[in-house]
Chain A
Amino acid sequence: MSEDVIKTDAVIIGAGPVGLFAVFELGLVDVKAHVIDILDRPGGQCAELYPEKPIYDVPALAVVTGQELTDRLMEQIKPFGAEFHFSQRVESLERTGDGFRLTTDADTVFECKVVVIAAGGGSFTPKRPPLPGIEQYEGTSVFYSVRKMDAFKDKDVLIVGGGDSALDWTLNLQPVAKSLTLVHRRQEFRAAPASVQKMLELVDSGNIAFKLGQVTELHGDDGQLTGVTVKSPDGSTFEQPTEVMLPFFGLTMKLGPVANWGLNLEENLVPVDTEKFETSEKGIFAIGDINSYPGKLKLILSGFHEAALMAQQAHHYVHPDKKLVFQYTTSSSSLQKKLGVK
């Protein structure tokens, strides 16, 4: 484990629009934040699910795409210099003497005074194909991501899917694996055309095999896969021997480790009060789609409001000896100084 502990005022879990705006509201009241997200970029659902889709209910923006909204928020929060930690998931959250200690799955450790959970629908995790018994192979023969390519050295590898992840790993693992077979349900691929072209060249040169179909059964023992049954588009089936399977079917949202942090939960949501948006644990806030309270609406604009009120209370925890005077960015010179207005 890394010995370098990152010390900060606030840790925001989730870099979706609400997590991003929390940086702004916390920044205005002198609370410095670090932001952690499982995705490799900011935007959360807006980036992952609908970057190109229009959103019509963000005040003052008649129409804005998920990506534009993300870009605009990143611009707006720039003055506060929040640090981002992408492709990481917070695994543990513990109370320390006067604050919290968080550890991510990349062993990054944070110590902070307040925690803001802005995790939306939960963390994006790879979809698990609904194949009977797949659990017993996970981590030994079935993998949803590649942490170390060496793990696949000299193995018979089967990759399933037709998106960018499937194609990228086909290209990357081909030189490492003993054999590589790509299985996809159709001749067309949603992946980048250049990757598809390269993959087809590898098929032509006999370096990989491509088979049309869908995996319907897994075969093996004690977590060790020996092969799978593939159903072809014409309905016939065949056996494909393999030691390893990498299915790439996109992401789904799961609450994940939040469930283990000792917070009260109701139907996978975190109940909060509507004055401070604080959870059952003092100093831990929940804003945006992940919280619940009477009348809750899962709207981006509601999350923004929640961020503003949360920040007031967060300020009290981080600066207990300072009195907070409510100010407007339009007229306050001190707020404008923080925003870098000249």
Chain B
Amino acid sequence: MARITFIQPDGTENTVEAEPGMTVMEAAVKNSVRGIAAECGGACACATCHVYVEEKWREATGQPEQMEEDMLDFAFDIRPESRLSCQIKVTEALDGLTVRIPEKQF
């Protein structure tokens, strides 16, 4: 189990439990976390599950692969810490991961 915290733009936090193997997006959707639209259901095809990974977690979550980097072109307010949460696989090592949800997905 890994605990993942989502911080809304207004500062409210949701901490959810995620099974290793699922994606951070799935953990959000399963727990009805606001602001993760995930329109394509995790196919890396819509860029509506955009999150900002907290600085200290960026190494553990890794860098986007090219497909994800391309899809980030369709998201807004991209920052160096931008990721699509459907492309971050939960592992035990991500226990405590904190991500911020952007103001709007579109």
Contact = CB atoms under 8 A, between A and B. Distances in A.
B39 A214 contact: no
Contacts of A48: 45
Contacts of A50: 40, 43, 45
B34 interface: no
Nearest to B106: A127
Contacts of A253: 39
Given A49-B40, A49-B46, A190 B70 contact: yes
Interface of A: 45, 48-50, 53, 121, 127-130, 161-163, 184-186, 188-190, 214, 216, 249-250, 252-253
B16 to A, nearest CB: 22
Do most interface residues of chain B lie in helix, strand or loop, or is the interface mixed? loop
Interface residues of B, number: 19
A121 B39 CA distance: 9
B73 A162 contact: yes
Given A49-B46, A50-B43, A188-B69, A249 B78 contact: no
Identify the interface centre among B43, B69, B71, B75: most chain A CB within 10 Å of its CB: B43
A237 to B, nearest CB: 13
Contact of A184 (B69, B73, B75): B73
A185 B78 contact: yes
Nearest to A48: B45
B97 interface: no
Given A49-B46, A50-B43, A121-B39, A250 B104 contact: no
A53 B73 contact: no
Nearest to B78: A185
Given A130-B104, A185-B78, A252 B73 contact: no
A184 to B, nearest CB: 7
B47 interface: yes
A53 B103 contact: no
B73 A163 contact: yes
A129 B70 CA distance: 17
A214 B78 contact: yes
A253 B103 CA distance: 19
B75 to A, nearest CB: 8
Interface string B76-106: 1110000000000000000000000001101
Nearest to A129: B76
A252 B43 contact: no
B5 interface: no
Nearest to A190: B70
A252 B106 contact: yes
Interface in B60-76: 69-71, 73-76
A22 B40 CA distance: 23
A162 B72 CA distance: 10
B77 A249 contact: no
Contacts of A45: 40
A214 B102 CA distance: 15
A252 B50 CA distance: 14
Given A49-B46, A130-B106, A190-B70, A249 B39 contact: no
Contact of B45 (A49, A161, A185): A49
Contacts of A130: 76-77, 103-104, 106
Contacts of B74: 127, 163, 249-250
A185 B73 contact: yes
A127 to B, nearest CB: 4
13 contacts: A48-B45, A49-B45, A50-B40, A162-B73, A163-B73, A185-B73, A188-B69, A188-B70, A189-B73, A214-B76, A249-B47, A249-B76, A250-B74
A249 B69 contact: no
What 6 A-B pairs have minimum CB-CB distances, sorted nearest first? A250-B74, A130-B104, A190-B70, A127-B106, A50-B43, A49-B45
Contacts of B78: 185, 214
B90 to A, nearest CB: 20
Given A130-B103, A186-B73, A190-B71, 9 more contacts: A49-B43, A127-B106, A161-B73, A185-B78, A188-B70, A190-B73, A214-B78, A249-B74, A252-B46
